[in-house]
Structure 1
C-alpha cells in the first residue's frame, strides 16, 4: 500500500500520514515532556497508539528504539562506516539499502524481500515522503516507525 507523509515545519513535529485516497490513516505525535526525542504513531480512525519510538539516551551512535504494545521490538542506529551512511534495524533482521541521505532507499527483510520502498519528493516546502509498504511482509505501523526512526537519527546527526 502507498502512503504519503508531509512533515510540518514546527517546534513540535505532529503530522499525519495519508493513503492513496488522500485520507489520514496515521497521526505522528511528538511527546512534549520527555527526555530525548520521543513520538507515537496513532491510528487516526480509532485513536489508539500503535507504535512508540524513543531516543536511546546513552549510546555511542544515535539510536531510536521502537515499541509495539509496550514491548521493545527494534532499534534503529547508524553503523560506523568510513564512506557511506548505513543504518541497521536490530531484532527484525531488516537491512536498509539505497541512498539514505537523499531519502531514496528500500528496507529489505533477511531473505532480500522488499518490505518498503521510500522516496523523498523534492521541490516541496516541507519534507514530503512517498512510501510503498508490503503489508504482507510487515505491520505498516511498524514500518512507518522504522522510517521515522531513520529520519530522526539523521536529524540527530545534523544537530
Structure 2
C-alpha cells in the first residue's frame, strides 16, 4: 500500500502543485494550463517524466475528461447525472468511482475489489486529499483520477457561487 497527499496551492495560476508520499517526499508534479480552453493538466514524476495528461472535453453537458497515461493506456472519466450521491464512470478501464453524499470521500473499485480510497481533509484553506492506493500499479491512474475529479468539484463550486450572486 502507498499513501499520497495532494495539497493544492491557494494562489497557483493554472493549477501547479506537488503531490507527496506518506513521508512528505515530493512524488508527482501537477501543472494545469493557464488561459487555455479546454483545460489540460500534465502530471510528471519528480525527474520530469510525463506520467499522464488530462484533457477536459469541450462543450459537454456534464464534465468529461480524457486521460492518457505514459504507458499509452487511455480512458475517459465522466460525471454521471445523479440526484444524491456523486458518481463518476470510467470508460475503457472497468473501474468505478463512488463518493459519499457530501462528495468528500471516494473509493475506487475494480470487479468489486477496492483499489484505492481517497478522502478530502477538512479544515484546510485549499483542497487537501489523502490517497491510499492498495496496489502500487494503480498509483499513476489514481492520482490522475483525483486531479480530474477535484477539478470537477472546483468548477461546480464556482458555478454555484456565481449562481448565488
For normalisation by structure 1, the TM-score amounts to 0.88
User: 2: distance between equivalents of 1:132 and 1:24?
Assistant: 16
Is the CA contact 2:78–2:89 (under 8 Å) kept in the aligned structure 1?
Answer: yes
Query: What secondary structure is seen at the aligned counterpart in 2 of 1:74?
Result: strand
Which residue in 1 is equivalent to 2:65?
64
Q: CA deviation at 1:33?
A: 5.3
Higher helix share: 2
Q: How does 1:90-101 map to 2 (within 5 A)?
A: 90-99=91-100, 101=102
User: Which segment is superposed worse, 28-37 or 118-127?
Assistant: 28-37
User: 1: distance between equivalents of 2:35 and 2:73?
Assistant: 21
Cα pair distance change 1:155/1:125, threshold 3 Å: closer
Q: How does 1:19-58 map to 2 (within 5 A)?
A: 19-32=21-34, 34-44=36-46, 46-58=47-59
User: Which segment is superposed worse, 92-101 or 111-120?
Assistant: 92-101
Gaps of 5+ in 1: none
Instruction: Supply the RMSD in Å over aligned alpha carbons.
Output: 1.9
User: 1: distance between equivalents of 2:118 and 2:101?
Assistant: 9
For normalisation by structure 2, the TM-score amounts to 0.85
Is the CA contact 1:77–1:153 (under 8 Å) kept in the aligned structure 2?
Answer: no
Q: CA deviation at 1:82?
A: 3.1
Q: CA deviation at 1:100?
A: 6.3
User: 2: distance between equivalents of 1:48 and 1:132?
Assistant: 23
Is the CA contact 2:30–2:43 (under 8 Å) kept in the aligned structure 1?
Answer: yes
Cα pair distance change 1:71/1:34, threshold 3 Å: farther
Gaps of 5+ in 2: 160-165
